[in-house]
Amino acid sequence: MEIVVRPTAEAAATYAHDLLVEHVRRQPTTVLGLPTGATPLPVYARLVQSHRTALFSMQSVTTFNLDEYYGLGLKHPASYTAYMSRALFDHVDCPASQRHIPNGLAADAQQEAADYEALIAAAGGIDFMLLGIGRNGHIGFNEPGSDFASRTRLVDLTPSTLAANAPFFADGETQPKQAISMGIGTILQARRIVVLATGASKAEAVRQSLEKPAKTAVPASALHLARDVTFVLDQACAGI
Ligand code: GLP
Alpha-helical regions (H) of 7-64: 9-26, 41-52
Q: Which atom of ligand 1 is nearest to the CA of 39?
A: 14
Distance CA 150, CA 160 (A): 21
Give residue 63's pLDDT. Answer: 98
* Mean pLDDT of the region 124-141: 97
* Mean pLDDT of the region 123-132: 98
Kindly state if the Cβ of 42 falls inside 6 Å of ligand 1: no
Q: How far is the CA of 135 from the centre of ligand 1 (A)?
A: 8
Q: Which CATH number fits domain 2-238: 3.20.20.70, 3.40.50.1360, 3.40.50.1370, 1.10.10.10?
A: 3.40.50.1360
pTM above 0.85, yes or no: yes
Distance CA 139, CA 161 (A): 11
* Mean pLDDT of the region 166-191: 94
Give residue-wise pLDDT tens across range 81-120: 999 999 999 999 999 999 999 999 999 999 999 999 999 9
Which position among 17, 23, 51, 67 bears the catalytic label?
Answer: 67
Kindly state if the Cβ of 71 falls inside 6 Å of ligand 1: no
Kindly state if the Cβ of 161 falls inside 6 Å of ligand 1: yes
Give residue 111's pLDDT. Answer: 98
